[in-house]
Structure 1
Amino acid sequence: MSLEIRIAASADALAACQVLRRSITECCIADHNNDPAILDAWLGNKNTQTVASWFESPTNFSLVAVENGAVVGVALLTAAGKLALCYLLPEARYKGAGKALLARIEAQAASWGVKALQLHSTASGEEFFARQGYIRSGNVRSPYGVDTVFFWKQLGAESCPPEAGRKRFCGCGST
């Protein structure tokens, strides 16, 4: 496997859009239950023009995972420290691309001085984020009608005391 994680460019928008749409449609069935109204709402902004605008925004840090020349994953971090996107093609799951994207996102967030990364996970992605050290902190209903799990992770947590891992957005690991 030849996996490359790189910064997303506008030219990647079509392929990234296809990753988003296929991942949501095929991997998140437990979340949308093939409900056309939920799928329409969730996929409504997953078009090439919108994805390109996300990649071009100076307040976002966007990545693609490329395997053998094809985009197989996409991730997006906002300047506020929110992981807004982390999706893979169904056939790219369980091969390390998700971990690689997340590691690069976490490194970027830390370089920006973000103390804790946060995200809303679908049920389909919940165990992945938990295995990566993210802490579940409640449920949130998405605007498109899917129940999500709010997760967060202290960045630089290796310098936090053990009890700090249970506090929301502990700042003890900052330098």
Structure 2
Amino acid sequence: MSTRIEIRRAVPDDATAACDLLRRSIEEGCRADHQGQPGVLGAWLGNKTPANVVAWFSSPSNYSVVAENDGVLVGLTLLTPAGKLALCYVSPDTLRRGIGRALLDAVEQQARTWNISKLHLHSPAGASMFFERLGYINAGKDKACFGLECDLLWKRLDGACDPAARKRFCNCAG
């Protein structure tokens, strides 16, 4: 596998490979978070189907990007117009190669284009430090929709907030 990573907009034809990546990343890469609990794992994986991924990638309101290495999908992320980072996954065998950072750079740039000043996401504990290294503030524990206790993270993109405040969704006036 070469070190050349291409970041590009996701297209519906990426759905099957993206679905496979999502499922593998959750099953293998997030094992410490779901601890093999069938209920949590089943709920987390429940909506990770090719049909749903096609819908997510096709929606004109979402901004989805993928990372490819030698034509193989190795990462993906999805941003909603509400500033929610709904997906951010990297293939377990390509972690710590800058793929996640490149994906976040792409969605943060798009968020600024959309005049979104604050992003937020739920992250399993195992991935939270990655987001924190990139300037996201950990606002504490919260339940994700699939029943796993996650960290609620957020990041101001306009620099109007003091990150040291560590408040849940800072309301700084700027």
State the TM-score, normalized to the length of structure 2.
Answer: 0.93
Question: What letter corresponds to residue 129 of structure 1 in structure 2?
Answer: F
* Structure 1 residue 152 corresponds to structure 2 residue 149: no
1:156 aligned partner, one-letter code: D
CA RMSD of aligned residues (A): 1.4
Q: Is the 8 Å Cα contact of residues 137 and 163 (structure 2) preserved in structure 1?
A: no
Who is 2:118 aligned against? 116
Residue 48, structure 1, aligned to residue 50, structure 2: yes
Counterpart among 23, 30, 36 of residue 28 in structure 1: 30
Q: Give the drift of 1:143.
A: 2.2
Shift of 1:33: 0.5
Which one-letter code corresponds to 1:111 in the other structure? T
Question: Which runs of no fewer than 5 residues in structure 2 stay unpaired?
Answer: none
User: Kindly, what percent of the aligned residue pairs are identical?
Assistant: 46
Asked if the contact 2:124/2:149 (under 8 Å) is kept, the reply is yes
Offset of residue 58 of structure 1: 1.2
Q: Secondary structure at the match of 1:133?
A: coil
Query: 1:133-164, CA deviations, whole angstroms, 9 ceiling, x for partnerless residues?
Result: 0001121111211001011111021xx37x47
Distance 1:169 1:16 in 2: 35
Q: Which runs of 4+ in 1 moved over 4 A?
A: none
Q: Is the 8 A contact 1:120 1:148 kept in 2?
A: yes
User: Which position in structure 2 is the counterpart of 1:14?
Assistant: 16
Q: Secondary structure at the match of 2:126?
A: coil
Gaps of 5+ in 1: none
* Partner residue of 2:140 out of 138, 141, 148: 138
Q: Does 1:70 align with 2:38?
A: no
